[in-house]
């Protein structure tokens, strides 16, 4: 379970998150919606431990463990996964090697046995097939020369292989056509279950037609100004952020 | 040691040194007149030989016991082992498809002791070396040349490699050792028409050692000198390569990677002379620097008037992993022909913060993430090496580098 209390954070002297309170229980999918500049990406980076963000107040715990004081790789080993809005290209790094290194690093830190190349490839190929990705996806360098849709699918592939307990999807829908969107959503939905929760950060309601959230939160100017059920997303789509924020 | 200290060593040893005495006397004359290179000389602006002048070396005592590095046995190929500069038949496995001569310095036809003073030093004091010849049309496979250095000695081996018309050879050179010593080898390489020499070098000298090597390579029509040098060892190192493309469509690859940490200093200096039409040279030089280390690349491309359709390319890239590491890069183009394609470039940067975070967000620990990104940085230089065992040797050296310099 993810618990965020009174979280304030920003870059240098600029405060972007101005007191976030949020609980995502195990097994639930929560959506965070909000206009540009409301702090959606900052929240995902602060939770996953990117350098350059300063937390000035509050806390964030995952299954009772303080997240903010540990390294990004330790957060990943706890089961946290960030699907990047802009997945990073790694020239010279083979996608399969990258995925196996990541998976084995996580398994090692959890005291589980590592997978050898054969075991890993079997697992990875099955997921590639399930996500309707091209066979050569594993052989290519990480995200190099991938189209926008392929990059997002590669994020979902990583998620499917790493099997996180909590996934943060940072505008995973941006730049996706409707077919790719469906594949990505199916990939997330396949992971849903009592031991998986997700924080779906999005600008539009479109993705939430495919990944139906348990709760929707509206982020505005660094605060959650409104929370509700899935119907809130539809209301936002119909009336815009301004009306919802004002109503709060 | 100063030039005069080396000269007095020469005075004491001249009677027992084998080979042509007149060459030695001429080289001694050069050193007497001009001394060792100093920082006021353009070619030595970035590399000071101070650690050399502060050291004191004895003449090696032959026959000491050594164990071969495990990497040598793993190559499973004929090998020529030199210990403190002396050929050791007891540790060597001579090649069957190449002709080998040892016991005297292999002076070769190309060295210029009058212009390169370290070559003069070598010429004056060289006591042994390998002369390796491959006959016309013969594929001699792989030969490993090993140099092991030990505490407190200076040695100046002199090697020559000759590939006759259409011959082929992969020469893997491994320099290693322990303690404070000076290894100052000179190698003369002649590649005749259509011959192909692949030269993979691993400079993994002891961390207190000094490595100063000079290679002269002459490539005839349609011949190829394809080299890659990995520097990870020595306190102070300079690899100098003079390659002359003397026949139509001759080709030279002078690729290198320098991985340095602590207070290491390494210099890769090349002079490529395009002296015939349609010749091609490629240099990709990668530097990974941490601690207070200092990397230098000086690359000169000379294109003579007759060398039309020359294609010269040079790229130097540096990855600085610490704020105290330093890189100097000096490209030089000297072009006298009018129809040529020559380009050079240089980049200097730190690890990409986005890539680093991306790896770590997937659970890859910080040290492993850095190693992956450094290996990726080297990919352009390492991946094209076609010789599998040779590439594995270099890959292992790169992987092991992290154990010496935990970032």
Q: Smallest Cβ distance to A105: which of B355, B357, B364? A: B364
pLDDT at B240 over 60: yes
Mutate to test the interface with A, among B362, B371, B399 (most CBs of A within 10 A): B362
Neighbours of B50 (CB within 10 A): 12
Q: What is d(CA B63, CA B78) in angstroms, rounded to the nearest whole number?
A: 21
B366 vs A93: CB contact, 8 Å cut-off? no
Model pLDDT, residue A239: 86
Q: Under 8 Å CB-to-CB from B321, ≥6 apart: which residues? A: B288, B289, B290, B350, B351, B370, B374, B407
Neighbour order of strands in the sheet with A2-11: A14-24, A2-11, A53-62, A65-66
The answer to whether residue B93 neighbours chain A at the CB level (below 8 Å) is no
- CB–CB contact A73 B364 (8 Å): yes
Question: Which of A76, A88, A89 is closest, CB to CB, to B363?
Answer: A76
Residues of B in contact with A76 (CB under 8 A): 360-363
Total tally of structural domains belonging to chain A: 1
Q: Which of B363, B365, B376 sits opposite A93 (nearest CB)?
A: B376
Q: Determine contact: A146 vs chain B, CB below 8 A.
A: no
pLDDT of B39-77, one tens digit each?
A: 899 999 999 999 999 999 999 998 899 999 999 989 999
The arithmetic mean of pLDDT across residues B212-222, rounded, is 98
Indicate whether B195 pLDDT > 50: yes
Which of B288, B361, B380 would you mutate first to test chain A, the one with the most A CBs within 10 A?
B361
Answer yes or no: do B363 and A51 touch at CB < 8 A: no
Comparing C-alpha atoms, which of A41, A39, A98 is closest to residue B358?
Answer: A98
Check if the beta carbon of residue B245 is closer than 8 Å to that of residue B275.
Answer: yes
B379: contact with A, CB 8 A cutoff: yes
Whether A148 and chain B come into contact, CB under 8 Å, resolves to no
A 105-124 residues inside an 8 A Cβ radius of B: 105-106, 109
Q: Tell me the shortest Cα–Cα distance from B317 to chain A, in angstroms.
A: 15
A-chain CB neighbours of B359 within 8 Å are 90, 98, 102
pLDDT on residue A248: 47
Annotate B327-376 with DSSP letters as a single string: EEEEEEEEE--SS-EEEEEEEEE---HHHHHHHHHTT--HHHHHHHHHHH
Q: How far B265 CA sits from the closest chain A CA (Å)?
A: 27
| Residue B406: pLDDT band with limits 50, 70, 90 | low
- Cα gap B357→A100, rounded to integer Å: 17
Residue A93 counted as domain residue: no
pLDDT in tens, B256-282: 999 999 999 999 999 999 999 999 999
pLDDT on residue B7: 97
Chain A positions touching B361 (Cβ under 8 A) are 48-50, 72-73, 75-76, 81-82, 84
Q: How many domains does chain B have?
A: 1
| Closest-CA residue of chain B to A95 | B359
CB contact (8 A) between residue A91 and residue B359: no
By Cβ distance, the residue of A84, A87, A101 closest to B372 is A101
Q: What ipTM was predicted for this assembly? A: 0.95
**Which one of A73, A87, A89 has the shortest CB-CB distance to B363?**
A73
Three-state DSSP at B316 gives: strand
Question: Is A76 in CB contact (< 8 Å) with chain B?
Answer: yes
CB–CB contact B360 A106 (8 Å): no
Q: Which of B354, B364, B378 sits opposite A102 (nearest CB)?
A: B364
CB distance from B377 to chain A under 8 Å?
Answer: yes
Q: How far is the C-alpha of A153 from the C-alpha of A173, rounded, in Å?
A: 10
Which residue does chain A place closest to B364, by CA atoms? A102
Range of the domain at A235: 2-88+163-247
What's the pLDDT tens digit per position in B340-372? 999 999 999 999 999 999 999 999 999 999 999
Nearest C-alpha in A relative to B382? A92
Q: Answer whether residue B118 shows pLDDT above 90.
A: yes
B46 close to B38: Cβ distance less than 8 angstroms: no
pLDDT of residue B272: 98
Number of CB atoms found within 10 A of residue B242's CB: 23
C-alpha A154: how far from chain center = 13
What local confidence, expressed as pLDDT, does residue B19 receive? 87
Domain extent at residue B99: 3-404
b (16+ CB within 10 A) / e for A92-104: bbbbbbbbbbbbb
Residue A131 confidence (pLDDT): 84
- Chain B interface test: which of A45, A73, A103, A112 (most B C-beta within 10 Å): A73
Provide the residue-wise pLDDT of chain A in tens; the chain has 248 residues: 999 999 999 998 899 999 999 999 999 999 999 988 899 999 999 999 999 999 999 999 999 999 999 999 999 999 999 999 999 999 999 999 999 999 999 999 989 999 999 999 999 999 999 888 888 889 999 999 998 888 999 999 999 999 999 999 999 888 888 888 888 899 899 999 999 999 999 988 889 999 999 999 999 999 999 999 999 988 888 888 877 765 54
Give the CATH number, domain containing residue A234: 3.40.50.300
Does the beta carbon of B365 lie under 8 angstroms from any beta carbon of chain A?
yes
């Amino acid at each position: 379970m993810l618990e965020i209390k009174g979280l304030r954070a920003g870059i240098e002297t600029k405060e972007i998150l101005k007191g976030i309170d949020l609980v995502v229980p195990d097994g639930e999918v929560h959506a965070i919606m909000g206009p540009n500049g409301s702090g959606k990406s900052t929240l995902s980076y602060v939770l996953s431990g990117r350098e350059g963000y300063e937390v000035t107040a509050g806390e964030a715990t995952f299954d009772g463990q303080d997240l903010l004081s540990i390294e990004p790789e330790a957060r990943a080993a706890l089961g946290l996964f960030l699907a990047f809005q802009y997945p990073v290209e790694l020239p010279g790094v083979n996608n399969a090697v990258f995925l196996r290194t990541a998976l084995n690093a996580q398994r090692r830190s959890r005291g589980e046995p590592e997978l050898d190349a054969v075991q890993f490839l079997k697992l990875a190929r099955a997921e590639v097939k399930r996500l309707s990705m091209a066979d050569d996806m594993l052989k290519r360098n990480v995200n190099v020369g991938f189209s926008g849709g392929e990059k997002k699918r590669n994020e979902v592939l990583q998620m499917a292989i790493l099997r996180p307990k909590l996934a943060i999807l940072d505008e995973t829908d941006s730049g996706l056509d409707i077919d790719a969107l469906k594949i990505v959503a199916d990939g997330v939905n396949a992971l849903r279950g009592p031991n998986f929760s997700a924080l779906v950060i999005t600008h539009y309601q479109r993705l939430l037609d495919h990944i139906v959230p348990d709760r929707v939160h509206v982020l505005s100017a660094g605060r959650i100004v409104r929370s509700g059920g899935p119907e809130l997303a539809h209301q936002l789509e119909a009336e815009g952020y301004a009306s919802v924020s004002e109503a709060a | 040691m100063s030039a005069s200290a080396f000269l007095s060593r020469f005075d004491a040893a001249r009677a027992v040194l084998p080979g042509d005495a007149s060459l030695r006397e001429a080289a001694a004359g050069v050193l007497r007149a001009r001394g060792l290179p100093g920082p006021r000389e353009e070619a030595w602006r970035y590399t000071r030989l101070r650690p050399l002048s502060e050291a004191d070396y004895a003449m090696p005592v032959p026959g000491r016991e050594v164990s071969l590095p495990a990497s040598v046995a793993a190559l499973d190929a004929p090998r020529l082992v030199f210990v403190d500069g002396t050929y050791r038949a007891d540790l060597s496995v001579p090649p069957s498809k190449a002709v080998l001569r040892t016991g005297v310095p292999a002076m070769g036809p190309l060295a210029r002791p009058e212009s390169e003073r370290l070559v003069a030093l070598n010429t004056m004091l060289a006591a042994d070396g390998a002369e390796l010849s491959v006959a016309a049309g013969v594929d001699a496979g792989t030969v490993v040349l090993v140099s092991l250095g030990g505490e407190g000695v200076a040695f100046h081996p002199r090697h020559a490699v000759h590939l006759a018309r259409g011959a082929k050879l992969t020469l893997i050179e491994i320099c290693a050792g322990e303690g404070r010593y000076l290894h100052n080898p000179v190698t003369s390489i002649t590649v005749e028409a259509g011959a192909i020499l692949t030269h993979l070098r691993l400079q993994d000298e002891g961390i207190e050692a000094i490595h100063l090597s000079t290679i002269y390579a002459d490539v005839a029509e349609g011949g190829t000198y394809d080299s890659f040098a990995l520097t990870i060892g020595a306190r102070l190192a300079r690899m100098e390569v003079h390659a002359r493309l003397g026949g139509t469509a001759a080709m030279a690859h002078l690729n290198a990677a320098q991985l340095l940490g602590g207070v290491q200093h390494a210099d890769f200096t090349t002079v490529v002379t395009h002296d015939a039409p349609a010749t091609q040279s490629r240099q990709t030089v990668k530097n990974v620097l941490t601690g207070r280390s200092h990397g230098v690349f000086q690359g000169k491309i000379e294109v003579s008037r007759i060398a039309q359709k020359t294609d010269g390319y040079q790229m130097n890239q540096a990855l600085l992993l610490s704020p105290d590491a330093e890189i100097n890069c000096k490209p030089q183009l000297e072009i006298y022909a009018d129809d040529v394609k020559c380009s050079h470039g240089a980049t200097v940067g730190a690890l990409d913060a986005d890539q680093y975070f991306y790896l770590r967000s997937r659970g890859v620990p910080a040290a492993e993430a850095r190693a992956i990104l450094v290996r990726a940085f080297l990919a352009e230089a390492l991946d094209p090496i076609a010789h599998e065992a040779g590439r594995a040797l270099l890959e292992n050296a790169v992987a092991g580098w992290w154990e010496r310099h935990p970032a």
